[in-house]
Amino acid sequence: MKILDLLNKNQMNFNIEAASKHAVIKEMAKMFLEDGVITDIDQYVESVMEREKTGTTGVGGGIAIPHGKSDVVKTSSIAFAKLNHPVDWDALDGKDVSTIFMLSIPGGSESKEHLRVLSMLAQRLMDDDVIEALDTAKTKEDIINIFQNKEIVK
């Protein structure tokens, strides 16, 4: 499975105004709700916040990959957002976060697929060229192009 299989233009926002990690997650969850990925925003946000308690998803370089596994998730998906102002995410490098990829994971899923997708995404986000491209991306097409023709998750 490719990252692009889960990354959807309907779930991208380049203009999120939020003052906290929780507010960012809630704004991004709205995209999932509007696109039919989740059925209950509060339960999904709670699952993401519970995951955040186990360890930061701020991977460094101003990027975070929050994710939640919940029965209210109908299908796996990745939402993308750029924040108007960086927020504290307790990131590994101590830097505030302004670029977020949020993953939805169905609660009944016993497969390790989401771990493979997270691993693939994290690996791509360690590439300096990818980070630079994300920093300069202005359109949904730019984001899609960054991940076009990349490795396949098996």
- Residue 67: active-site member: yes
Whether 105 and 39 have beta carbons less than 8 Å apart is answered as no
The catalytic residue among 22, 67, 85, 114 is 67
Rounded to whole angstroms, how far apart are CA atoms 7 and 106? Answer: 16
Task: Kindly report the number of other CB atoms within 10 A of residue 108's CB atom.
Answer: 9
Q: Tokens 């969850």 identify what position? A: 29
Which residues lie closer than 8 Å to 139 by C-beta, 6 or more apart? 14
- Active-site residue set: 67
